[in-house]
Amino acid sequence: MTAKNFLSGVVFALFFIFIFIDTTSETPPAIPEVIETRHAILNISHQTFLYSVENAREYEVNGIIAAGVVPHHTTAAVMISGFFSCAAEFADYYDTVIILAPNHSGGFAEIIASERDWDVGDGVFTNRSFVADLISANENAAISHSHMEEDHSASVLIPYVHYYLPNTQVATVLLSRSLSFDGTIDFARWLENWIAESGENILLVASIDFSHFLTPQESIEKDRITAYAIATRDYRMIHSLNDAHLDSSASLIVFLQYLDALGIDPQIIDHTNAAEFLNAGIPETTSYKIIIGELD
């Protein structure tokens, strides 16, 4: 072998070693943060959201909304956008939107939270301090990312928070039917104390659909019972109501308890059912309400 051939072989071998070391030691591309740490928005289409914003119901409010009840059926999306457009009049006031919603699938835990952010626009960011305090202070609370992402009851509202209140954080909580009356009251008191001690300006939103899968006339009758329980603050009665009346008695109780603590009376500013949006002749319907509590 000539010196020339020997040197050529050495150069080729060194080049091969360099390439091998470089490519195998290179750090693989990081998985985008959105995949690892953010919830996807699974339960409302972009088209439905845009339509609801363009056709938002018009409501008249006189002051800052401290708390509200909104639907989560996308059939009533124009009511959701109508509520949040009212809150947007005071967008600079709010620090965090706390959403209470039913755990439709049941099980896992009586109170479910998640510290993950939401994948919409630049992101809707979760108030992790709230989540950490909730889990540490409530033995019946637990983290479940899958429940939070897959249940439409809270996730449907996230695009509206992003659009109307873009500078706020969120905290989403799913409440199970299995949460006892005493457990509901304990959670309500804990939440009141947390809000008072946090120093934050909070918009509390209870995500509730009312009478389910009834004829329009039956729906009216069930809604009258629920309205009476709300007006008389009969919390035990509210807790006993099933899906024929509403899908989250716990969320409604916590909402009303919070308003009571603030000395605010709830106002029902909209009440309708799916027949208005779908077809007046449909055999079964679900009813919806917008209820607000305004600060003086």
Pairing mode of beta strands 141-143, 65-70: unpaired
Q: How many angstroms separate the CA atoms of 142 and 123, rounded?
A: 23
User: Is residue 100 within a helix (H) or strand (E), and if so which, with residue range?
Assistant: strand 96-102
| Domain ranges (residues) in the chain | 39-294
Residues 261 and 281 sit within 8 Å (Cβ to Cβ): no
Residues written for the chain: 296
Could you give the 3-state DSSP secondary structure of residue 140? coil
- Nearest residue to 174 (alpha-carbon basis) of 72, 88, 257, 26: 72
Per-residue exposure over 270-289, b if at least 16 CB sit within 10 Å of its own CB, e if not:
bebbbbebeeeeeeebbbbb
pLDDT at 281: 73
Find the distance separating the first CA and the last CA of the chain, reported in whole Å.
96
From first to last of the 296 residues of the chain, give the pLDDT tens digit.
Answer: 444 444 444 443 443 333 333 433 344 333 233 345 788 887 899 999 999 999 999 999 999 999 999 999 999 999 999 999 999 999 999 999 999 999 988 888 999 999 999 988 878 889 999 999 999 999 999 999 999 998 889 999 999 999 999 999 999 999 999 999 999 999 999 999 999 999 999 999 999 999 998 988 899 999 999 999 999 999 999 999 999 999 999 999 999 999 999 999 999 999 999 988 887 677 889 999 999 999 98
Instruction: Please name the fold of domain 39-294.
Output: Protocatechuate 4,5-dioxygenase; Chain B (3.40.830)
**What global pTM score does this model have?**
0.86
Residues 214 and 284 sit within 8 Å (Cβ to Cβ): yes
pLDDT at 35: 40
Q: How many angstroms separate the CA atoms of 67 and 179, rounded?
A: 22
pLDDT at 218: 93
Pairing mode of beta strands 169-175, 111-113: antiparallel
Contacts of 162 (CB under 8 A, 6+ apart): 118, 120, 121, 124
Residues 73 and 274 sit within 8 Å (Cβ to Cβ): yes
- Nearest residue to 118 (alpha-carbon basis) of 207, 204, 30, 34: 34
Residues 57 and 81 sit within 8 Å (Cβ to Cβ): yes
Q: Return left, alpha or beta for 44; rule: phi > 0 is left, psi -120 to 50 is alpha, else beta.
A: beta
Please state, as a whole number, how many other Cβ atoms lie within 10 Å of the Cβ of residue 215: 14
Tokens of 224: 């009258």
Q: How many angstroms separate the CA atoms of 6 and 55, rounded?
A: 79
- Nearest residue to 66 (alpha-carbon basis) of 202, 164, 206: 202
pLDDT at 36: 52
